[in-house]
Amino acid sequence: MKPSEFVKTYFPYAKKLQYDLGVSAIATLAQAALESGWGEHAIGFNFFGIKDSDGVNGNEQLIITTEYLKSYTAKFPIVISKVWNPTKKFYKYVVKDYFRKYDTPYQSFADHAHFFFVNKRYFQALEYKTDPYRFIDEIAKAGYATDPSYSKLLKQVAKMIENEIIKQKL
């Protein structure tokens, strides 16, 4: 999906949640775009890469993902590959792991917003929920993703989203 189409389609969900919970629609939509490849990889309407903690109650799906970890002994349901990066001092894992699945895109957006309120590690980020760029820094610091470039990449996407919102007068 083109960025313009993605923003037009999914901005209303992010905007509603901004109104209801105060989390920046720009930050939310940027995460949805980055995590799902602009909607192309939102398997089971999981736009945010939110994992399923147990993999047993029927609301999960086993999906290939890449993780960047310092541990050589990280546990996943299936490890496809594990490569040490001596420059950055982490292992790049390609694995199959359990992720949540949803019946609708809105369920995914709503679960994502609530995710920050029920996980204590994001309480600091919520202090900046109306500032998309500071919020992005804080969720990255709290470990939302294992990619060491997550904050930088997400801010680039947020800027694209912001420009598209202005362009489309949303």
The confidence score (pLDDT) of residue 39 equals: 96
Q: What angle do CA 118, 44, 69 make, to 5 degrees?
A: 60
49 near 145, Cβ under 8 Å? Answer: yes
Residue type present at position 74 = A
Q: Where are the domains of the chain?
A: 3-168
Q: Residue 56's pLDDT is what?
A: 62
pTM score of the predicted model: 0.84
> So what's the pLDDT on residue 20?
95
Residue 91: the pLDDT is 94
The catalytic residues are 67, 111
Give the separation between CA 77 and CA 61, rounded to whole angstroms: 12
What is the C-alpha separation between 28 and 14, in angstroms, rounded? 6
Q: What is the pLDDT of residue 38?
A: 97
Q: What is the reported pLDDT for 82?
A: 96
- Was domain 3-168 assigned CATH 1.10.1740.10? no
Q: Mean pLDDT per segment of 10 residues, for the chain of length 170 residues? A: 96 96 97 96 92 73 90 93 92 93 94 94 96 97 91 97 95
